[in-house]
Each structure stands twice: as C-alpha cells, then as structure tokens.
C-alpha cells in the first residue's frame, strides 16, 4: 500500500488510471492502462492475456473434429462462423466438396450468427454510452435467433454444429419457418433500433468524428470487418473470396469513408439488413442432399500448409493448419480479427476524452477471449 | 378539534396550541422541532424507498421487463429488503482515505436534501417553515449537496472517484445557474419568493399557463437543469457507470452508499417538488375561471394528493428521460449549459420582465 501513496501522480503531468481487467466497459477482461491529462487521453496501453487458454497449443493434441469445439470458445459470438472456418480448411485440405445443402445451411446460420452478434453489439454499445434500455431491446431480439440455434444445433451460443465434411445433424423441421418468422419480425423491429439510438442527437454528437482512422491506416494496421469497412477498406471475405454459398447470393458490401465510431456503428446496422437479404435469398431454396459427407472416423490431413479465411461478425478470421500427416495438426494458428482490431486503439483514442475512449473501444466490438485465445 | 384534509392549518395550529397549553413556549418549540424532524426523516425514508421502487418499475416498463415482483405484492417490499441488506453490509475501510471527510461526505449530501424538504409546502398548512425567501432558500440548500459529492470523490483516494467528483463539481456549478435563472423568471411573474404566496397566486391558473411562452421555456430549462443537478441520466457523468465504474461513490459500501443512493432519489423528488410548486401550482387544484362545477370537483381531491400527483408526474418525466437517452460527454454538457441554456435563459428572463411590466400575464 505504501507504493499506492507514491503512485498518486498529482505532481506528475500524467494521471494514470487502470481500466480493467474488471471494468464495465471493456466487455471482458481487457485491461487498458490510460494516461490522462484532465479528461484527455494521452496514451492507451492495452494489456491482454487474462483469458489466455492456449487454444492454439491445445489444438496440437486434438483431432480435427475436437478442434471444432475449441473454436467456439474464441469469439463466442461468432461461434458458428469459427467452426465453419476450421471445417472449410480441413475440407480444402482433403479435397472434399460438401453438398449444396450443407453450403446453404452453413451460410444461413452464419448470417444468423452475424445478426445476433450485431444485435449484442448494439445492445452493449448503447449501454456503454449510457442508454441502458438498448441492452434489453437488443437481447430481446437476439433471444429469437438463439431459439432457432437451440432447436437446430442443440446449443444456443456455443453451437458446434459444423463438422468436417458437413453438419452434425440435419436441420430441424421448424428451422425454415422460424427463420422466416424471425426475418419478418426483425424487419419491423430494426427500425426501432434506429429510432431509439441511431437518430438520437446525443448519440450522434457523441460518436461523429470520434476515433477516426483513415483508409491507409486501416489497411496498414490490417483492420478488417466492420471496423475496416467503415474506413473504406473493402475487405469483405464473403465478397472477395466467397466460400460456402456466398457466390450464389447477391448482397452489398457496406462501405463508408469516414472511419469514425459512428460509421463503425452504422456499418453493423446496415449489415444486419444485408444479412437478412442473404438469408431470404437462401431460406426457401435449401436443396435436398446429404447433410454430411461420409468421413473417416480419424481425419488425417496430407502433409502441407492450409489456410482458410472467413468473414466473422468482427472481421477476417484466418485458420492456418500445418500438418505433418498425423491425426493431430503440427501447428494451428488463428488470425483473430479482434486482436488486430485492438492494436490501433492508442492512435484512435489519443487526444480524445475518457468518455470517447469508451465509445471507441465499444465501436471496435471486441470479444476478449478471441484476442487472448 | 375538527380535522379537515382540505386545510391542514387548523390541524397544525391545534398541535401548536395544545403543546403551548401544557408547557412553556421554549419547550413547545423544541418539541415541535423534534416532531417535525421525525416526520421529515420518516417521510424521507418512505419517499426514498418508494422512488427506488418506482424507478425500478418504470425502467422495467420502458425496457420490456417485469421489474421486482417477488418480495411482497408486486415486489413492493423489494427496496425495503434491499435497504435492510445494505444496513448489514460490512463497511469496507479504505486505506489511505481521509477518514473524517470520507465519513462526513454522505451526511452533507443527506443533510442538504433534508433541509430542502423542510421548506416544501406539501399541502395547505402542511409546511414546516414558510420563509419569505423560500425559493432562494431552496436553491441555496440544494446546491450544498455538491460539497458532499466533491468531498466523497476527494477523500476516497480513488482516481475514478476524483474524476467523477470533478465532473460533478463542474456540472452542478454550471447548471445551478440555469436552475436559478429559471426560478427567478417565475419569481418575477409571481412577485414574491414566499412559496405559500406563490401557490396562492396560482389559484386561478398555474404559472405554466399564466406565464405564456416564457414560463414554458423556463419550465423546460428547469427540467433539463434540474435533471443535471441531481446527477441523473442523461447527465449522470459523475457516476458514468460505463466509464468510471461508479464515480464518486465507488469506494462507499453498506449504509454509506445507501445514503448517497437515497439522497439521489430524494433530490429528484425535491427538484420535481420545486417544479410543481413554482410551475404547476403546488398543492393547488386545477381551477378554470368560470367553470364552477369543474372547480368544485377538482377541489374535492385533497391538496396533498394534488401535490404528490404532480410531483410524481414530473418524476416520471425525469425517469423517462433517463431510460431513453444516452449519456452526454462532459464538454457537450458544459456546451449545452453555457452556450445554449444560459443565453436562452437570460433572454427569457428579459422577456418575462417585459411581459410582467406590460401587464400581459393575467
């Protein structure tokens, strides 16, 4: 405690506060060491690793079917998409072409995952900015998607529905109807979000021009997902390198040039509309076919290096597998979007106020377990 | 003694005269003070508990939830249970905190709000003290609470608390001006600072109707500034849960925290009560000149029901604001006050003075 007395830096220029690892606005166990001058942020230093579980190392002792379940625990809000990334990588390595049915279902579920992730973003972002009602509205609608997941996948958040070569089970008979009902409902409800939060003067004043990052910097820092697209960096993997059924649907890549917190928010709001469009194009046309290819119980990938990237709700998730021909991967590496998106927080937040730091941090929509893995 | 709920003057005078009959005048005054003090304390606790419950129910209603519904019918005893729990919570001692100031801070906050309650007219004849500078007194004591908030932030030896306290200081000092000017606008209209006279002047029309546009502007400004004064959303920067964890009362626990918490709600009640008294006619029923039958019906409702009804109406508006709007940033907060509210307020004051001089206000 003696040290604490010395540390109160009233004589110094900088006033250092420690946001996290237990802080309401860091959405997990992220620790930000913030130097302040008055209310102005001078420097932000993210400290990560509080939920490091060594997932990449653990993968080296697990079969590919088992790895799927670990990927759920990285970005738990994009659990289905994470599963899909590993499955696609394994299928690519084995040269398996899954049936169209699997592709369609995977795509629909991916987009549902994206919507529920953005709903949670909207909910928590409103809360970050002090609008507590948003949280309940967001969760109310997210519940409907989780119910669809529960029925078809068994899990609500941690779905583990994919498996190399297809899906665990076929879809539930109610799946199509419930999904269509949800789309119908959410098309009516989403404008409510805009009325409550987006159009609010205080909300817009809080966010416009805050935490701006331009296109060159966004590319240089490797920002992907809504964060990158808000800066005008066209980085949608679904568009540029289509996987599953994304080449069969038409949708727009949402791009803005401003690169501030408000447009990062706006990209996500628009993406929910696009996701609904994608689902509507697919949901009635799910072709008949096998829900899974016949796979060997033990999958051994041929020797070599494999890479597959997918677009999660937060950006590009890359899966790198190096195989030595064994049933376990020799090395497994995930390129997680959150880790990369967190990196430029310092240059985004410097010069703004501490309340803006919360707004910027929220607009990055970080999921901490994905950073730490 | 004939008890009349429409005019409590006879009731209070009966207490006074019977006390004076049985003891010396000095003792009578002392006993009266004790009675009033106890009554205010009981009212304070009851209204605090009720408002916490009301806020939870209102926000649940806004947020599509049920709110407390387990303890008692409709969860009405939930806040009592919470308070009992807070009474038994350990008071965590804070190392390197300034102990005297740390313990003093909640009491300053509480005392400021108790003093304000003392001068509020609840019904005809039900007012502890009817000062001839009532409005001025209310403004003076209600701005005392900020000292407690500043002390709490300073003495906690916590960086979040200090930031919260500094924000609160800047905020309350700024918005005090708007509250004051909005009330002065109405004082010009009423021509008096005495609350009982102000209410009497609203017998044939509340000031918000009588004062034309300036009164409406003053009312809106008063509600905004009053919400800011109580440190409630969207002006809850001093607590700013998502930024400063809990702001100035981060380090407080148990009953000391409960005092801050109660004071926040009591302050909300006081702000709403002042708005009721000055703008909405206090305990005066709604009268329309010439509609005798209507006025009779309105008079049938007892004055304290009118007062509490109007006050809780204003409280509901303040809760509505809190659960709808996101929080402002400190610079936007000060910009709103110094660049918008204050100039509008000064202009409004001149407009009202002109209106009163021209005699257009009746």
Q: Number of H helices and number of E strands within chain A?
A: 16, 8
Decide if A200 and B325 are in contact by the 8 Å CB cutoff. yes
Q: How confident is the model at residue A5, as a pLDDT? A: 46
Q: How confident is the model at residue B13, as a pLDDT? A: 77
Q: Is residue A372 part of a domain?
A: no
pLDDT in tens, A138-168: 888 898 999 998 888 888 888 888 888 888 8
Decide if B96 and A203 are in contact by the 8 Å CB cutoff. no
Q: Is residue A24 part of a domain?
A: no
Decide if B62 and A203 are in contact by the 8 Å CB cutoff. no
Domain tally, chain A: 1
Which residues, listed in sequence order, are joined to residue A332 by a DSSP beta bridge?
A321
Contacts of B240 in chain A (CB under 8 A): 130, 355
By C-alpha distance, which of A262, A357, A361 is closest to A41?
A357
Q: Place B149 in a pLDDT band, splitting at 50, 70 and 90.
A: confident
Q: Is residue A243 part of a domain?
A: yes
Q: Is residue A89 part of a domain?
A: yes
Token match 């005893």: residue?
A: B77
CA A142 to chain centre: 15
Q: How confident is the model at residue B362, as a pLDDT? A: 58
Decide if B234 and A202 are in contact by the 8 Å CB cutoff. yes
Provide the residue range defining the domain that includes A146. Answer: 53-340
- Tell me if chain A has a CB within 8 Å of the CB of B55: no
Decide if A130 and B236 are in contact by the 8 Å CB cutoff. yes
- Tell me if chain B has a CB within 8 Å of the CB of A23: yes
Do A295 and A64 touch, CB atoms closer than 8 A?
A: no
Spatial separation of the C-alpha atoms in residues B130 and B121, rounded to whole Å? 8
pLDDT in tens, A180-209: 899 999 998 888 888 888 888 888 888 888
What does the mean pLDDT of chain A come to?
86
Q: Is the ipTM of this complex over 0.90?
A: no
Q: Is residue A39 part of a domain?
A: no
pTM of this prediction? 0.84
Q: Is residue A212 part of a domain?
A: yes
Q: Is residue A333 part of a domain?
A: yes
Decide if B245 and A24 are in contact by the 8 Å CB cutoff. yes
Percent of residues, chain B, with pLDDT higher than 70: 96
Q: Is residue A294 part of a domain?
A: yes
Percent of residues, chain A, with pLDDT higher than 90: 5
| CATH number of domain containing A257 | 1.10.645.10
List the structure tokens of A312: 């999660």
Pick B332's closest partner by Cβ from A5, A16, A205.
A205
By C-alpha distance, which of B170, B120, B153 is closest to B271?
B120
Q: How confident is the model at residue A130, as a pLDDT? A: 81
Which residue has better confidence, A334 or B9? A334
Say whether A320 sits in a helix, a strand or coil: strand
List the structure tokens of A18: 């420690």
Angstroms from B334 CA to nearest CA on chain A: 13
Q: Which of B9-18, B50-59, B85-94, B212-221 has the lowest mean pLDDT?
A: B9-18
Q: Give, for A166, the enclosing helix (H) or strand (E).
A: strand A166-167
């Amino acid at each position: 405690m003696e040290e604490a007395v010395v540390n109160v830096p009233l004589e110094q220029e900088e006033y250092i506060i420690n946001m996290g690892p237990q802080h309401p606005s860091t959405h997990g166990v992220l620790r930000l060491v913030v130097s302040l001058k008055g209310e102005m942020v001078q420097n932000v230093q993210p400290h990560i690793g509080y939920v490091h579980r060594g997932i990449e190392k653990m993968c080296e002792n697990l079969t590919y079917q088992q790895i799927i379940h670990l990927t759920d625990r990285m970005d738990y809000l994009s659990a289905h998409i994470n599963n899909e990334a590993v499955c696609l990588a394994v299928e690519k390595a084995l040269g398996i072409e899954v049936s169209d049915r699997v592709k369609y279902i995977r795509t629909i579920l991916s987009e549902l995952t994206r919507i529920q992730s953005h709903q949670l973003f909207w909910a928590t972002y409103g809360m970050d900015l002090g609008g507590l009602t948003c949280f309940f509205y967001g969760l109310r609608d997210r519940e409907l998607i989780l119910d669809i997941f529960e029925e078809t996948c068994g899990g609500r958040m941690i779905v583990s529905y994919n498996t190399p070569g297809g899906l665990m089970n076929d879809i539930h008979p109610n799946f199509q109807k419930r999904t269509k009902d949800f789309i119908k409902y959410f098309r009516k409800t989403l404008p409510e979000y805009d009325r409550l939060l987006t159009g609010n003067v205080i909300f817009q004043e809080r966010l416009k021009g805050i935490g701006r990052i331009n296109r060159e910097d966004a590319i240089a820092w490797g920002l992907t997902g809504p964060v990158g697209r808000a800066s005008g960096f066209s980085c949608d993997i679904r568009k540029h390198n289509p996987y599953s059924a994304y080449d069969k649907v038409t949708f727009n890549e949402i791009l803005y040039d401003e690169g501030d917190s408000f447009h990062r928010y706006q990209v996500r709001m628009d993406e929910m509309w696009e996701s609904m469009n994608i689902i509507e194009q697919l949901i009635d046309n799910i072709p008949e076919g096998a829900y899974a290819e016949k796979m060997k119980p033990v999958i051994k990938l041929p020797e070599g290096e494999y890479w597959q990237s997918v677009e999660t709700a937060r950006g590009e998730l890359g899966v790198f597998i190096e195989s030595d021909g064994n049933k376990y991967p020799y090395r497994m590496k995930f390129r997680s979007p959150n880790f990369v998106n967190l990196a430029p927080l310092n240059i985004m937040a410097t010069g703004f106020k501490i309340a803006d730091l919360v707004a910027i941090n929220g607009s990055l929509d970080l999921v901490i377990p994905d950073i730490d893995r | 003694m004939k008890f009349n709920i429409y005019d409590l003057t006879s009731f209070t005078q009966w207490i006074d005269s019977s006390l004076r009959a049985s003891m010396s005048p000095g003792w009578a005054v002392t006993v009266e003070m004790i009675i009033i003090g106890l009554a205010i304390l009981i009212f304070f606790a009851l209204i605090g508990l009720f408002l916490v419950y009301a806020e939870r129910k209102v926000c649940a209603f806004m947020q599509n939830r049920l709110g407390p519904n387990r303890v008692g019918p409709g969860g009405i005893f939930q806040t009592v249970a919470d308070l009992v729990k807070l009474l038994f919570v350990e008071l965590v001692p804070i190392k390197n905190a300034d102990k005297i100031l740390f313990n003093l801070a909640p009491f300053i906050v509480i005392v400021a709000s108790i003093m304000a309650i003392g001068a509020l007219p609840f019904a005809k004849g039900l007012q502890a003290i009817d000062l001839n500078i009532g409005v001025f007194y209310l403004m003076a004591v209600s701005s005392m609470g900020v000292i407690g908030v500043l002390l709490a932030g300073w003495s906690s030896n916590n960086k979040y608390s200090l930031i919260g306290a500094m924000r609160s200081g800047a905020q309350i000092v700024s918005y005090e001006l708007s509250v004051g000017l909005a009330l002065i606008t109405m004082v010009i209209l009423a021509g008096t600072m005495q609350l009982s006279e102000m209410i009497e002047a609203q017998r044939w029309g509340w000031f918000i109707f009588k004062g034309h546009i300036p009164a409406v502007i003053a009312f809106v400004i008063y509600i905004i500034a009053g919400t800011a004064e109580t440190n409630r959303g969207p002006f809850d920067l001093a607590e700013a849960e998502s930024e400063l964890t809990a702001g100035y009362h981060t380090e407080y626990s148990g009953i000391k925290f409960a005092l801050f918490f109660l004071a926040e709600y009591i302050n909300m009640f006081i702000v709403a009560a002042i708005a009721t008294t000055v703008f909405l006619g206090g305990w005066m029923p709604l009268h329309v000149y010439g509609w005798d039958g209507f006025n009779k019906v309105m008079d049938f409702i007892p004055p304290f029901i009118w007062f509490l009804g109007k006050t809780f109406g204003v409280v509901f508006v303040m809760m509505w604001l809190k659960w709808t709007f996101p929080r402002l940033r400190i610079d936007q907060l000060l910009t709103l006050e110094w660049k918008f509210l204050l100039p509008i307020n000064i202009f409004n004051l001149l407009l009202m003075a002109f209106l009163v001089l021209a005699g257009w206000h009746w």
